[in-house]
Chain A
Amino acid sequence: MTSAAQNIIEEFNFLEGSNKLELLLEFSEALPELEARFGEHPELLERVEECQSPVFIAVEGNADRVSLHFSAPREAPTTRGFASILNSALNNHSAEQILGLSDDYPSMLGLDSLISPLRVRGMRGMLARIKRKTAELIDQK
């Protein structure tokens, strides 16, 4: 697991109850704006069907350094928060590091009792798609 991914788990598990949700809200606010070029080329983005809100991802780069891009609406702060966590944990890491992140990572944040299971599964869907697109990226090279 990347040290960034590990730090996020520790941060969440250090906090209790509503403080965890506040941290998730902070992540949601910190999600970088999608680069303008994606607005002109929406075909570069893939919809995360597992999420309740319209979330799109793009995965670019090479095996040594993979860059992630997310688009999630402001009216869906929980989903944005999940996207932002994955962005902080994985962006600009190697393909090997991304593929090495456990599929159970979303459950390690300890949010299951606070957030509906549907939501947490949405984050698992996001992670699964990031990993699949990363695998496709290195296969092409």
Chain B
Amino acid sequence: MDNQSKIAQYSDPDVLVTTDWLTSNLSKVIAVESNEDILLYDTGHIEGAVKLDWHTELNHPLRRDYLEGAAFAALMDSKGIGRDDTVVLYGDRSNWWATYAFWVFKLFGHENVHLLDGGRAKWIADGGALTTDKPQTTSSSYPVVERNDTEIRAFRDEVLSHIGQPLVDVRSPEEYSGERLHMPDFPNEGATRGGHIPTAASIPWSRAVQADETFRPLNELEELYFSNTGFNRESDFIAYCRIGERSSHSWFVLKYLLGVKNVRNYDGSWTEWGNLVGAPIATGSNPGSAV
């Protein structure tokens, strides 16, 4: 199955674009690169693409939160992105940080956002050119739109009352069981206890991608998220990880590829829950029960 027919099977096929499509439409869209390694863009990127730095540009400077409306508008102005522009996000590590940026764009209701299937690695593998020339950007007076946290973002109290309903832990199996407090190969980023939110199913985020970093075909995703868990498209999902980045990737899969109606990302994730006074946790490889 070629990539285009694979994409056609997804619930919202328009949300993903192929490297061929991007090559032909590059002049009509604004490509935005968002990487885990924040220097990678500067070593070479798709022509005309602007860089979005997840670490310094998306967060509120003084609260653990995302930008507010005015700051997001200023950020878009600095990138030359207008409210009606078509944005195509892509990045390293299977679009891990690109889906995080995608989720933030959606908190602000930006309509036309797409993701390049396979991200940066696929672009390079398909022979796509890279340049170190940085594009000239012009502000398009992005309007101030307040963030909408109600539909795709979950907070700790909502998670607490959601225990027993579809909850997906997308971290590694070792983080889920509580054997380790951080990703394999990554240093600890500060949680006092190891384990998972009781009743959460363990579905590591990276299982949704293939070796070439594109998403798995629909039937394989259905098996992973539905057949293996007993959940379905009508379920109300919450996904979480360590700080909400890996779970943005799974949120994207659930919402756009599988067509789950209600799915929220709990960005507080384990760095909040694992430190939260009074919050119940479960350890070991079983989901555990609601208390």
Contacts and interface: CB of A to CB of B under 8 A. Distances in A.
A and B bind: yes
Given A50-B187, A51-B185, A76-B37, A25 B43 contact: yes
A15 interface: no
Interface stretch (A63-71, A91-99, A109-117, A130-138): A109-117
A69 B189 CA distance: 28
A28 interface: yes
Nearest to B37: A78
A52 B38 CA distance: 13
Given A117-B189, A125-B187, A22 B55 contact: no
A116 B187 CA distance: 11
Given A75-B37, A76-B37, A118 B189 contact: yes
A117 B56 CA distance: 12
Contacts of B224: none
A21 interface: yes
Interface in A27-66: 28, 49-53
Contacts of A116: 38, 55
Given A74-B43, A75-B92, A77-B43, A115 B38 contact: yes
B55 A25 contact: no
Chain A's interface size range is: 20 to 34
B189 A78 contact: no
Contacts of B36: 52
A79 B37 contact: yes
Contact of A78 (B39, B56, B185, B187): B39
B187 A21 contact: no
Contacts, number: 49
B42 A21 contact: yes
Nearest to B42: A25
A51 B56 CA distance: 20
B40 interface: yes
A75 B42 CA distance: 11
Interface in B157-195: 185-187, 189
A50 B183 CA distance: 10
A104 to B, nearest CB: 15
Max chain A Cβ within 10 angstroms of own Cβ: one of B37, B43, B56, B189: B37
A90 interface: no
A114 B37 contact: no
A21 B186 CA distance: 22
Contacts of A51: 185
A86 interface: no
Interface string A79-91: 1010000000000
Interface of A: 21-22, 24-25, 28, 49-53, 74-79, 81, 113-118, 121-122, 125
Given A53-B37, A77-B37, 20 more contacts: A21-B39, A21-B42, A22-B42, A25-B43, A28-B39, A49-B185, A50-B187, A52-B36, A75-B37, A76-B40, A77-B42, A78-B38, A78-B39, A78-B40, A79-B37, A114-B55, A115-B55, A116-B38, A118-B187, A121-B187
7 contacts: A21-B42, A52-B186, A77-B43, A81-B39, A114-B55, A121-B187, A122-B187
